[in-house]
Amino acid sequence: MTETEKLRIDKYLWAIRLFKTRSLATDACKAGRVKLNGQNIKPSAIVKVGDVYQVSKGIEKKIIEVVELSYNRTDSPTALTKYNDLTPVEETHAFKSMFHAPGLKRDRGTGRPTKKDRRETDDLLGGMFEED
């Protein structure tokens, strides 16, 4: 491999727009939130086509496969062609549905909710935000 063919994982994650800055990608690698074959990797690890990485970003978890190397940050449609997203559909919907909770509104002028109203609201939500 020549020097121009080598690409660090932190730079790759920044170039494909998984992280806003390269330093955030570096910090994620150092914190153990980027894994290759279940093993934590350093920010200086070399990326190869065909590698499968597990990336955790907050509550979002992604599994990506490297399709093409990207040395520079590009626009979003081009960046999406550089990797395959192998994240299971259940995990993606679970993340997205968390933000689509029903909006509960009370009529104006009804005053504070009573204990009974609060219990009814809790039953309606049914533990939507509890983790199993």
- The pLDDT tens digits of the residues spanning 54-97 come to 999 877 889 999 999 999 999 999 999 999 999 887 777 665 55
Three-class secondary structure of residue 64 per DSSP: strand
Structure confidence at residue 127 as a pLDDT band (50, 70, 90): low
Contact 34, 41 (CB under 8 A): yes
Q: Name which residue leads in pLDDT, 122 or 41.
A: 41
pLDDT attached to residue 112: 87
% the chain with pLDDT above 90:
55
Cα 46 to Cα 5, 77, 106, distances in angstroms: 10, 24, 55
Contact 51, 34 (CB under 8 A): no
